[in-house]
Structure 1
Amino acid sequence: MARPRTFDEDRALEGAMRAFWESGYEATSTRDLCEATGLGRSSVYNAFDGKRELFVRALGHYMEQKDAKLFELLERDLPIREKVRVLLQSVAEGDPGEPPGCLVVNSMVELAPRDPEIAEILRRDQERRFEALRAAIGLARARGELGPGKDPAALARFVAAVVSGMRVAARAGGDRAALEAIAATALDAF
């Protein structure tokens, strides 16, 4: 009979997510994960089948959190320009309690080129976010908020690229003023 778990799995995933976000997959050691999750080495391997599976779970945890915020914003009763402004401003401001950058973007660069399973997870997440943005922009165009020459798919890809670029700039040490300038320039597309 298996022994019941005596730890909070969500808390462990949150700790692992932050460790991977801060240092990347390769640079995060098992020791780092033990410290971040509060679990012993054997517990990490027993509960999550090792570092890679823990990473996949932590990445999913991250995507759920970030996607929920994006989808909630896109469903608000606001003009599309305001939705995009709020999104870009939130990226420029960052969250002082979080590591800079983005675990998804970091993983696209670090892991996707050589790990087909991770690449597929990231592609599916990217597609969900793209479709949500495209739908919101398409609805705004149908309501007359954007001119008929504005392509919702192209604008959605543009916003996604700007957000990713801003997150890379933040990770590289870009200051808030620089990120706000990028956001203001991007907002001109709307």
Structure 2
Amino acid sequence: MGRPKQFDPDVAVGKAMDVFWCKGYAATTPQDLVDELGIGKGSLYNAFGSKHALFERALERYRDTQSAALVELLDQTGPVRPLLRSALELLIETDLGPAGRHGCFAVNTAAELGGKDDASTELVRRMFERTEGAFKAAVERGQRTGEFAPERDADAAASLMLAALVGMRVIARAQGGRERLHRIVDAVLDAL
């Protein structure tokens, strides 16, 4: 009979997500994870198998929480345009707030591992698809309510918003400033 686990794996994934998000995959060492999680290397590997497996779980956690938050915000009742503005401006405040400057974990992963690591690339791709799908659903709802022109291509609008969001998160990380980011939001919403 094995010893009981001395830590909560769910809490450990959350802490690992913060480390990977802040440092990136390559720069995060197993010792960084052990120190942050407060467990031994053996426990780390017994629970998660490898640094990469823990990274995937952390990225999945990020994807699930961020996608859920966006969908929840965009699913609120009321006019769609202000909801889209709120969603994009929330990202500005998140990225420029006191805990920000780490950028978006998914965007960071795409830049670091995209095309080099199939599993991570796939996780990011699915997150981007969820985000784009939430934007498309919002645009289609706005078309039904008359806020947006019915002939507007909802797929193209959603892709534009995703591209703007990714770009904004990179700009925020490079300390692009609120004014520039708000201009991008204005331009994207004007395009709808």
TM-score range for the pair, normalised by the shorter chain length: over 0.9
8 Å contact from structure 1 (residues 21, 99) kept in 2: no
8 Å contact from structure 2 (residues 59, 123) kept in 1: no
8 Å contact from structure 2 (residues 101, 172) kept in 1: no
Please report how far the alpha carbon of residue 98 of structure 1 lies from its aligned counterpart in structure 2 after TM superposition: 4.4
1:1-190 matches, within 5 Å, as 1-94=1-94, 95-190=97-192
Please report how far the alpha carbon of residue 121 of structure 1 lies from its aligned counterpart in structure 2 after TM superposition: 1.9
Please report how far the alpha carbon of residue 89 of structure 1 lies from its aligned counterpart in structure 2 after TM superposition: 0.7
Size of the alignment, in residue pairs? 190
The structure-2 alpha-carbon separation of the partners of 1:102 and 1:184, relative to structure 1 and needing over 3 Å to count, comes to: same
Of residues 55-64 and 3-12 in structure 1, the stretch that sits farther from structure 2 once superposed is 3-12
TM-score of the aligned structures, taking structure 2 as reference length:
0.92
8 Å contact from structure 1 (residues 100, 167) kept in 2: no
One-letter identity of the residue aligned with 2:47: A
**Structure 2: gaps of 5 or more residues:** none
One-letter identity of the residue aligned with 1:65: T
Q: Residues of 2 paired with 1:150 and 1:130: CA distance?
A: 16
Q: Residues of 2 paired with 1:170 and 1:41: CA distance?
A: 35
Please report how far the alpha carbon of residue 133 of structure 1 lies from its aligned counterpart in structure 2 after TM superposition: 1.6
One-letter identity of the residue aligned with 1:84: L
SS of structure 1 residue aligned to 2:191 = coil
Q: What are the superposed Cα offsets for residues 78-124 of structure 1, whole Å, 9 maximum, x if unpaired?
A: 22211110011111111433453101011111112111222222222
One-letter identity of the residue aligned with 1:171: R
Q: Residues of 2 paired with 1:37 and 1:51: CA distance?
A: 13
Q: Residues of 1 paired with 2:115 and 2:28: CA distance?
A: 19
One-letter identity of the residue aligned with 1:114: K
Percent of residue pairs bearing the same amino acid type:
41
Cα RMSD after superposing both structures = 1.5
The structure-2 alpha-carbon separation of the partners of 1:184 and 1:35, relative to structure 1 and needing over 3 Å to count, comes to: farther
**Structure 1: gaps of 5 or more residues:** none
8 Å contact from structure 1 (residues 100, 170) kept in 2: no
